[in-house]
Every structure is written in C-alpha cells, then in structure tokens.
Amino acid sequence: MKSIVIAITGASAIQLGERTIQLLLQNNKQVELILSKGAYEVSKSERNINIPVEPNAQSVFWRNRLKVESGKLNCYRWNDHSASIASGSHKTKGMVIVPCSMGTLGRIASGFSLDLIERCADVHLKENRTLIISPRESPFNLIHIENLKRLALAGALIVPPIPAWYTNPTSVDDIIDFIVVRLLDTLGEDLDNIKRWAGPKK
C-alpha cells in the first residue's frame, strides 16, 4: 500500500488536518505526517495545545488524541531533510497540505524549499504525483492568487476549505467533515464511516 503524505502548516483551522489523519487511519491507510514550525505555534496560540515535536512522542500523542489504533502513522520533524519521503524514489499515493498557509504556498510556488513540507510538495510536482493544497486565508491578495494559479498550472489541485450550506450543517464537526471528505474525494480515497449528503430532505 502506498502511503499518503499529510502536511499541516501554520494557518488557522488545524482541526482540518487532524480530522484528515483521523479518517485516513480509521480507514487503515498509511500516513506520513509533517507539521511545519508554524503549525506548532498556531496550535498553541489558537487552541492551547502543545504538540510534541519528537516523532515517536508525536505519534503517541495523535493516537491518544484521535483515539485510533488502526492504520500506520509516521511523524517527521519539519527540518528532517534526510527523511525518505524527501526523495522521489519513495513512492506515495499523493500529498495533501491542509490547512496551507500563505507562507508555505509562496515558497512552494517559487520552488524555494526550506522545510520538509516544501521539499515533499516539490517532489510530488516533479514526479507528477497528486498534490492537493487547501489554502487558508481571507481575503486573498494578488500575490496569493498568482501563487495559487502558478501551482495549479504546475499540476497541483487547489481545494479550499469552503463549507457547503446545502448540507444544512448543525455543528462545526459537520462543517469540518464536509471539507475533509471533499479533500479526500479529490485524492481518490474510498472511505468508510463518513456521512455524505444524499440530496435535499423531502
């Protein structure tokens, strides 16, 4: 089974990344997880959660927090440039960056790979593999829009975390699930245990 690289960066709504890894692990997938330096800061500042940086400790942290024992989870430091996933010879099913900060977006768009997330994104583009980016900022300035366009032209799929209202969400969890399922649908993953909209209530 090919693994899926999930990257969480320092943008608002880290819950989206959390739910993505939870759903993948619940569905027995193999996840290679990278948090950017900014993600730890946003997690602390927005949610008062201290995520361990050390990979084994972080893996235990997620297993406990997400209450999931299935699947396979490997965590990486943001600056681990010698990780196997930093090379094109490590085959993956694809990569999802959720949420994606404008900083990470800009560095990927300019080919300026500083951390492991940017390097992996660069590898996915050069190897012509699926790269899904879920950018979180509002409003976008022209530079953000140009960077999104540049990445779309280079083959990335831009899937913004925009909720749907036709599903009549009644909780934040409903909104998160809609966004995350759209992301994983784009990746082509078949998932069990998810709620899908089945048309308007009659």
Residue of 4, 6, 11, 132 that binds ligand FMN (CB under 6 A): 11
191 touches 29 (CB < 8 A): no
Q: Per CB under 6 A, which region of 18-26, 39-47, 64-72, 191-199 contacts ligand FMN?
A: 39-47
Q: What is the DSSP code (8-state) at residue 86?
A: G
Residue of 34, 42, 151, 176 that binds ligand FMN (CB under 6 A): 42
DSSP reduced 3-state for 168? coil
Q: Per CB under 6 A, which region of 5-13, 151-159, 170-178, 186-194 contacts ligand FMN?
A: 5-13
When asked if residue 36 is in the footprint of ligand FMN (CB under 6 A), the reply is yes
Three-state secondary structure of 109-165: HCCCCCCHHHHHHHHHHHCCCCEEEEECCCCCCHHHHHHHHHHHHCCCEECCCCCCC
Shortest distance, CB of residue 112 to ligand FMN, whole angstroms?
12
Residue of 27, 30, 37, 49 that binds ligand FMN (CB under 6 A): 37
Residue of 41, 54, 146, 173 that binds ligand FMN (CB under 6 A): 41
Which residues from 126-155 bind ligand FMN, rule CB under 6 A? 136-137
Binding mask of the shown chain, residues 65 to 84, with x at each position contacting ligand FMN by CB under 6 A: --------------------
Residue of 23, 25, 31, 39 that binds ligand FMN (CB under 6 A): 39
Q: How many residues does the chain have?
A: 202
Query: Which H or E element spans position 33?
Result: strand 30-35
Shortest distance, CB of residue 81 to ligand FMN, whole angstroms?
15
Residue 12 vs 186, nearer CB to ligand FMN: 12
Q: Give me the residues paired with residue 96 across strands.
A: 6, 132
Q: How many CB atoms lie within 10 A of CB 62?
A: 20
Residue of 9, 15, 74, 147 that binds ligand FMN (CB under 6 A): 9
95 touches 137 (CB < 8 A): no
Shortest distance, CB of residue 176 to ligand FMN, whole angstroms?
15
Q: What is the DSSP code (8-state) at residue 10?
A: S
Pick from 95, 137, 66, 110: which is nearest to 7 by CA?
95
Q: Which residues bind ligand FMN (CB under 6 A)?
A: 9-12, 36-39, 41-42, 45-46, 101-104, 136-137
